[in-house]
Chain A
Amino acid sequence: MKGKVFVKKKPGVLDPEGATIQKALLNLGYREVASVRSGRVFEVELEAGNSKEAEEKLREMARKLLANPVIEEFRVELENGGGPSKKLGVFEK
Protein backbone atom coordinates (compact mmCIF):
# COMPACT_ATOMS: atom_id res chain seq x y z
CA MET A 1 0.00 0.00 0.00
CA LYS A 2 1.17 3.52 -0.69
CA GLY A 3 0.49 6.54 1.41
CA LYS A 4 1.60 10.10 1.82
CA VAL A 5 2.21 12.12 4.93
CA PHE A 6 2.06 15.90 4.52
CA VAL A 7 3.85 17.89 7.22
CA LYS A 8 3.84 21.65 7.59
CA LYS A 9 4.36 24.27 10.26
CA LYS A 10 1.31 25.09 12.36
CA PRO A 11 -0.35 28.40 11.59
CA GLY A 12 1.48 31.13 13.44
CA VAL A 13 4.80 29.30 13.59
CA LEU A 14 7.59 31.15 11.80
CA ASP A 15 8.28 29.79 8.33
CA PRO A 16 11.22 31.79 6.96
CA GLU A 17 11.51 29.40 4.00
CA GLY A 18 7.92 30.06 2.97
CA ALA A 19 8.47 33.81 3.36
CA THR A 20 11.59 33.69 1.19
CA ILE A 21 9.81 31.68 -1.51
CA GLN A 22 6.97 34.18 -1.45
CA LYS A 23 9.46 37.00 -1.96
CA ALA A 24 11.00 35.13 -4.92
CA LEU A 25 7.55 34.64 -6.48
CA LEU A 26 6.80 38.34 -6.07
CA ASN A 27 10.14 39.11 -7.71
CA LEU A 28 9.09 36.89 -10.63
CA GLY A 29 6.05 39.09 -11.07
CA TYR A 30 3.43 36.98 -9.29
CA ARG A 31 1.96 39.94 -7.48
CA GLU A 32 -1.15 37.93 -6.63
CA VAL A 33 0.77 35.76 -4.12
CA ALA A 34 -0.40 36.74 -0.65
CA SER A 35 1.47 34.10 1.35
CA VAL A 36 3.44 30.87 1.02
CA ARG A 37 3.83 28.20 3.66
CA SER A 38 6.42 25.50 3.07
CA GLY A 39 6.26 21.89 4.15
CA ARG A 40 7.19 18.43 3.06
CA VAL A 41 5.66 15.22 1.82
CA PHE A 42 6.74 11.70 2.72
CA GLU A 43 5.74 8.94 0.31
CA VAL A 44 5.59 5.74 2.30
CA GLU A 45 5.17 2.21 0.95
CA LEU A 46 3.94 -0.07 3.66
CA GLU A 47 2.30 -3.41 4.24
CA ALA A 48 -1.12 -3.28 5.82
CA GLY A 49 -4.19 -5.50 5.87
CA ASN A 50 -6.54 -2.72 4.87
CA SER A 51 -6.58 1.00 4.31
CA LYS A 52 -7.80 1.76 7.82
CA GLU A 53 -4.84 -0.06 9.30
CA ALA A 54 -2.47 1.71 6.89
CA GLU A 55 -3.92 5.07 7.80
CA GLU A 56 -3.52 4.37 11.51
CA LYS A 57 0.10 3.29 11.01
CA LEU A 58 0.91 6.41 9.04
CA ARG A 59 -0.63 8.61 11.69
CA GLU A 60 1.37 6.84 14.36
CA MET A 61 4.59 7.34 12.36
CA ALA A 62 3.78 11.01 11.90
CA ARG A 63 3.11 11.54 15.59
CA LYS A 64 6.24 9.66 16.64
CA LEU A 65 8.79 10.87 14.11
CA LEU A 66 7.73 12.61 10.90
CA ALA A 67 6.22 15.67 12.57
CA ASN A 68 7.20 17.58 15.69
CA PRO A 69 3.93 18.33 17.52
CA VAL A 70 5.38 21.50 19.06
CA ILE A 71 5.70 23.23 15.70
CA GLU A 72 4.13 21.07 13.00
CA GLU A 73 0.84 19.53 11.92
CA PHE A 74 0.28 16.68 9.50
CA ARG A 75 -2.29 14.90 7.40
CA VAL A 76 -2.16 11.52 5.71
CA GLU A 77 -3.43 10.38 2.35
CA LEU A 78 -3.71 6.85 0.91
CA GLU A 79 -3.27 5.78 -2.68
CA ASN A 80 -5.79 3.12 -3.76
CA GLY A 81 -4.31 0.73 -6.34
CA GLY A 82 -3.65 3.39 -8.97
CA GLY A 83 -7.07 4.95 -8.46
CA PRO A 84 -7.60 8.45 -7.21
CA SER A 85 -6.01 8.93 -3.83
CA LYS A 86 -8.26 8.92 -0.83
CA LYS A 87 -7.94 12.02 1.25
CA LEU A 88 -8.13 11.43 4.93
CA GLY A 89 -9.33 14.43 6.73
CA VAL A 90 -7.72 17.62 7.75
CA PHE A 91 -4.38 18.44 9.29
CA GLU A 92 -3.92 16.93 12.72
CA LYS A 93 -2.33 19.26 15.22
Chain B
Amino acid sequence: MKFGVVTFPGSNCDYDCYHVVKDVVKQPVVYLWHKEHHLDNCDVIILPGGFAHGDYLRTGAIARFSPIMREVADFAMRGGMVIGICNGFQILCEAGLLPGALLRNRSLRFVHRPVYLRVEKNDSTFTNAYQKEQILKMPTAHGDGCYYDTPEEIKKLEQSGQVLFRYCDREGRLTEEANPNGSLGNIAGIVNAAGNVMGLMPHPDRASEPILGSADGAGIFFSMVARFAGLAVA
Protein backbone atom coordinates (compact mmCIF):
# COMPACT_ATOMS: atom_id res chain seq x y z
CA MET B 1 0.00 0.00 0.00
CA LYS B 2 1.67 3.17 -1.19
CA PHE B 3 1.34 6.36 0.86
CA GLY B 4 1.87 9.86 -0.50
CA VAL B 5 2.64 12.78 1.80
CA VAL B 6 1.87 16.17 0.26
CA THR B 7 4.38 18.91 1.04
CA PHE B 8 3.08 22.47 0.80
CA PRO B 9 5.36 25.46 1.38
CA GLY B 10 5.03 25.76 5.17
CA SER B 11 4.21 22.11 5.91
CA ASN B 12 6.22 21.03 8.94
CA CYS B 13 4.91 17.57 9.76
CA ASP B 14 5.51 16.02 6.36
CA TYR B 15 8.64 14.26 7.58
CA ASP B 16 6.86 13.04 10.74
CA CYS B 17 4.22 11.39 8.58
CA TYR B 18 6.79 10.01 6.17
CA HIS B 19 8.79 8.55 9.06
CA VAL B 20 5.78 6.88 10.69
CA VAL B 21 4.67 5.26 7.44
CA LYS B 22 8.17 4.11 6.51
CA ASP B 23 9.59 3.08 9.88
CA VAL B 24 6.59 2.21 12.04
CA VAL B 25 3.92 1.06 9.60
CA LYS B 26 6.59 -0.19 7.18
CA GLN B 27 4.82 0.71 3.95
CA PRO B 28 6.14 2.41 0.81
CA VAL B 29 5.86 6.19 1.00
CA VAL B 30 6.74 9.15 -1.23
CA TYR B 31 6.61 12.91 -0.91
CA LEU B 32 4.36 14.79 -3.32
CA TRP B 33 5.22 18.46 -3.93
CA HIS B 34 2.14 20.67 -3.93
CA LYS B 35 2.79 21.81 -7.51
CA GLU B 36 2.59 18.29 -8.90
CA HIS B 37 -0.32 17.35 -11.15
CA HIS B 38 -0.26 13.64 -10.31
CA LEU B 39 -0.40 11.47 -7.20
CA ASP B 40 2.29 9.00 -8.27
CA ASN B 41 -0.15 6.06 -8.08
CA CYS B 42 -0.47 6.35 -4.32
CA ASP B 43 -3.21 4.43 -2.51
CA VAL B 44 -3.59 6.93 0.32
CA ILE B 45 -2.84 10.65 0.49
CA ILE B 46 -1.77 12.39 3.69
CA LEU B 47 -2.12 16.15 4.05
CA PRO B 48 0.26 16.85 6.93
CA GLY B 49 0.33 19.48 9.65
CA GLY B 50 2.06 22.82 9.41
CA PHE B 51 1.26 26.29 8.16
CA ALA B 52 0.74 25.79 4.43
CA HIS B 53 1.25 29.04 2.53
CA GLY B 54 1.74 30.76 5.88
CA ASP B 55 -1.91 30.15 6.77
CA TYR B 56 -2.57 33.58 5.28
CA LEU B 57 -6.18 34.64 4.84
CA ARG B 58 -7.55 31.59 6.69
CA THR B 59 -5.87 28.31 7.56
CA GLY B 60 -5.92 26.13 4.47
CA ALA B 61 -7.57 28.79 2.28
CA ILE B 62 -4.62 29.22 -0.07
CA ALA B 63 -3.41 25.62 0.12
CA ARG B 64 -6.70 24.31 -1.17
CA PHE B 65 -5.88 25.96 -4.50
CA SER B 66 -2.43 24.38 -4.77
CA PRO B 67 -2.23 22.49 -8.08
CA ILE B 68 -2.11 19.05 -6.45
CA MET B 69 -5.42 19.66 -4.67
CA ARG B 70 -7.29 19.15 -7.94
CA GLU B 71 -5.84 15.65 -8.12
CA VAL B 72 -6.52 15.06 -4.43
CA ALA B 73 -10.17 16.08 -4.88
CA ASP B 74 -10.59 13.78 -7.92
CA PHE B 75 -8.93 10.96 -5.99
CA ALA B 76 -11.23 11.50 -3.01
CA MET B 77 -14.30 11.62 -5.27
CA ARG B 78 -13.28 8.26 -6.73
CA GLY B 79 -13.17 6.81 -3.21
CA GLY B 80 -9.43 7.13 -2.55
CA MET B 81 -8.29 7.32 1.08
CA VAL B 82 -7.31 10.81 2.19
CA ILE B 83 -6.32 11.85 5.68
CA GLY B 84 -5.70 15.42 6.81
CA ILE B 85 -3.91 15.99 10.09
CA CYS B 86 -4.13 19.39 11.82
CA ASN B 87 -3.40 21.86 8.98
CA GLY B 88 -4.37 19.04 6.61
CA PHE B 89 -7.82 18.90 8.28
CA GLN B 90 -8.17 22.66 7.80
CA ILE B 91 -7.24 22.32 4.11
CA LEU B 92 -9.81 19.53 3.59
CA CYS B 93 -12.55 21.69 5.13
CA GLU B 94 -11.59 24.69 3.00
CA ALA B 95 -11.58 22.45 -0.07
CA GLY B 96 -15.08 21.25 0.74
CA LEU B 97 -13.90 17.63 0.98
CA LEU B 98 -15.01 17.64 4.62
CA PRO B 99 -17.95 19.58 6.06
CA GLY B 100 -17.62 22.45 8.51
CA ALA B 101 -14.78 24.79 9.35
CA LEU B 102 -12.03 25.17 11.93
CA LEU B 103 -12.24 28.48 13.76
CA ARG B 104 -9.72 30.25 15.96
CA ASN B 105 -9.41 28.46 19.32
CA ARG B 106 -11.97 29.85 21.72
CA SER B 107 -9.14 30.82 24.10
CA LEU B 108 -7.37 32.65 21.25
CA ARG B 109 -4.25 30.75 22.34
CA PHE B 110 -2.12 28.34 20.38
CA VAL B 111 -2.64 25.05 22.19
CA HIS B 112 0.26 22.62 22.24
CA ARG B 113 -0.14 19.85 24.76
CA PRO B 114 -1.12 16.20 24.91
CA VAL B 115 -4.87 15.56 24.87
CA TYR B 116 -7.03 12.50 25.29
CA LEU B 117 -9.34 11.31 22.55
CA ARG B 118 -12.23 8.89 22.70
CA VAL B 119 -12.76 6.60 19.71
CA GLU B 120 -16.42 7.06 18.82
CA LYS B 121 -16.58 4.45 16.07
CA ASN B 122 -14.27 1.59 15.33
CA ASP B 123 -15.83 0.30 12.13
CA SER B 124 -14.36 3.01 9.91
CA THR B 125 -11.48 2.91 7.45
CA PHE B 126 -9.42 4.97 9.88
CA THR B 127 -10.30 3.48 13.28
CA ASN B 128 -10.74 -0.28 12.81
CA ALA B 129 -7.54 -1.03 14.77
CA TYR B 130 -9.08 0.46 17.94
CA GLN B 131 -11.71 -0.60 20.41
CA LYS B 132 -14.90 1.45 20.57
CA GLU B 133 -14.54 4.11 23.28
CA GLN B 134 -10.83 3.39 23.56
CA ILE B 135 -8.99 6.38 25.02
CA LEU B 136 -5.98 7.60 23.09
CA LYS B 137 -3.29 10.12 23.97
CA MET B 138 -1.90 12.41 21.28
CA PRO B 139 -0.41 15.91 21.16
CA THR B 140 -2.21 18.93 19.74
CA ALA B 141 -0.44 21.92 18.23
CA HIS B 142 -2.84 24.40 16.69
CA GLY B 143 -4.27 27.89 16.90
CA ASP B 144 -7.36 27.24 14.78
CA GLY B 145 -8.92 23.97 15.84
CA CYS B 146 -12.40 24.89 16.99
CA TYR B 147 -14.64 22.67 14.88
CA TYR B 148 -17.75 24.52 13.82
CA ASP B 149 -20.75 24.03 11.60
CA THR B 150 -24.39 25.08 11.77
CA PRO B 151 -26.54 23.19 14.32
CA GLU B 152 -28.35 21.43 11.45
CA GLU B 153 -25.10 20.26 9.88
CA ILE B 154 -23.66 19.13 13.23
CA LYS B 155 -26.84 17.13 13.81
CA LYS B 156 -26.46 15.48 10.40
CA LEU B 157 -22.82 14.68 11.14
CA GLU B 158 -23.72 13.10 14.48
CA GLN B 159 -26.68 11.16 13.14
CA SER B 160 -24.71 9.66 10.28
CA GLY B 161 -21.91 8.60 12.61
CA GLN B 162 -19.26 10.78 11.00
CA VAL B 163 -17.64 11.83 14.28
CA LEU B 164 -14.72 9.47 14.83
CA PHE B 165 -12.87 11.14 17.72
CA ARG B 166 -13.83 13.45 20.56
CA TYR B 167 -11.70 15.27 23.13
CA CYS B 168 -12.14 13.68 26.54
CA ASP B 169 -10.43 13.50 29.91
CA ARG B 170 -8.23 10.64 31.06
CA GLU B 171 -11.32 8.63 32.00
CA GLY B 172 -13.09 9.25 28.71
CA ARG B 173 -15.51 11.89 29.97
CA LEU B 174 -16.41 14.61 27.47
CA THR B 175 -15.78 17.64 29.65
CA GLU B 176 -15.30 21.27 28.75
CA GLU B 177 -11.86 21.27 30.39
CA ALA B 178 -10.78 18.40 28.16
CA ASN B 179 -11.72 20.37 25.05
CA PRO B 180 -8.59 22.31 24.04
CA ASN B 181 -10.17 24.64 21.49
CA GLY B 182 -13.91 24.93 22.03
CA SER B 183 -14.93 22.52 19.27
CA LEU B 184 -18.67 21.86 19.15
CA GLY B 185 -19.50 18.48 20.69
CA ASN B 186 -15.82 18.06 21.66
CA ILE B 187 -15.27 16.99 18.04
CA ALA B 188 -11.62 16.24 17.26
CA GLY B 189 -11.89 14.13 14.11
CA ILE B 190 -14.51 13.46 11.45
CA VAL B 191 -14.95 11.48 8.28
CA ASN B 192 -16.87 12.41 5.13
CA ALA B 193 -20.22 10.81 4.34
CA ALA B 194 -18.60 8.31 1.96
CA GLY B 195 -16.15 7.25 4.67
CA ASN B 196 -12.92 7.69 2.72
CA VAL B 197 -11.76 11.17 3.79
CA MET B 198 -10.80 11.89 7.39
CA GLY B 199 -9.65 15.01 9.24
CA LEU B 200 -8.16 15.09 12.72
CA MET B 201 -6.74 18.03 14.69
CA PRO B 202 -4.37 16.18 17.09
CA HIS B 203 -1.24 14.52 15.73
CA PRO B 204 -1.17 10.72 15.37
CA ASP B 205 2.08 11.25 13.46
CA ARG B 206 3.70 12.58 16.63
CA ALA B 207 2.36 9.74 18.77
CA SER B 208 3.16 6.53 16.98
CA GLU B 209 6.17 5.31 18.99
CA PRO B 210 6.57 4.71 22.74
CA ILE B 211 9.72 6.85 22.81
CA LEU B 212 7.51 9.86 21.99
CA GLY B 213 5.29 9.25 25.02
CA SER B 214 2.48 7.52 23.16
CA ALA B 215 2.13 5.05 20.34
CA ASP B 216 -1.64 5.41 20.22
CA GLY B 217 -1.67 7.26 16.90
CA ALA B 218 -0.18 4.39 14.92
CA GLY B 219 -3.56 2.64 14.97
CA ILE B 220 -4.92 5.14 12.44
CA PHE B 221 -2.23 4.21 9.94
CA PHE B 222 -2.59 0.49 10.66
CA SER B 223 -6.38 0.81 10.25
CA MET B 224 -5.93 2.17 6.74
CA VAL B 225 -3.50 -0.60 5.84
CA ALA B 226 -5.90 -3.22 7.20
CA ARG B 227 -8.86 -1.74 5.31
CA PHE B 228 -6.81 -1.59 2.13
CA ALA B 229 -5.83 -5.22 2.50
CA GLY B 230 -9.47 -6.11 3.01
CA LEU B 231 -8.71 -7.59 6.40
CA ALA B 232 -10.68 -5.10 8.43
CA VAL B 233 -13.87 -6.23 10.08
CA ALA B 234 -16.28 -3.68 8.71
Contacts and interface: CB of A to CB of B under 8 A. Distances in A.
Given A13-B148, A14-B146, A66-B57, A71 B101 contact: yes
Contacts, number: 34
A51 interface: no
Interface string A65-83: 1101011000000000000
A27 B93 CA distance: 36
Given A70-B101, A71-B101, A16 B148 contact: no
Contacts of B131: none
Interface in B92-114: 93-94, 99-101, 103-108
A79 to B, nearest CB: 22
A13 to B, nearest CB: 7
B15 interface: no
Interface in A3-47: 13-14, 16-17, 20
B57 A65 contact: yes
Contacts of A66: 57
Contacts of A13: 103, 148
B52 to A, nearest CB: 15
A17 B146 CA distance: 13
B58 A68 contact: yes
Given A70-B100, A70-B101, A16 B107 contact: yes
A23 to B, nearest CB: 11
Nearest to A66: B57
Nearest to B64: A65
Most buried by B among A20, A66, A68: A68
Contacts of B61: 65, 68
Nearest to A14: B103
B169 interface: no
B146 A20 contact: no
Contacts of B93: 70
A68 to B, nearest CB: 6
B106 A16 contact: yes
A76 B102 CA distance: 25
Contacts of A71: 101, 103, 148
Contacts of A14: 103, 106, 146, 148, 182
Nearest to B153: A70
Nearest to B106: A16
B108 A16 contact: yes
B64 to A, nearest CB: 9
A27 B106 CA distance: 20
Contact of B108 (A17, A65, A68): A17
A68 B101 contact: yes
A14 B104 CA distance: 9
Nearest to A67: B58
Interface of B: 57-58, 61, 65, 93-94, 99-101, 103-108, 146, 148-149, 182
Interface of A: 13-14, 16-17, 20, 65-66, 68, 70-71
Task: Give me the 9 closest cross-chain CB pairs, A-B, nearest first.
Answer: A70-B101, A71-B101, A16-B108, A16-B106, A16-B104, A14-B103, A68-B101, A68-B58, A20-B108
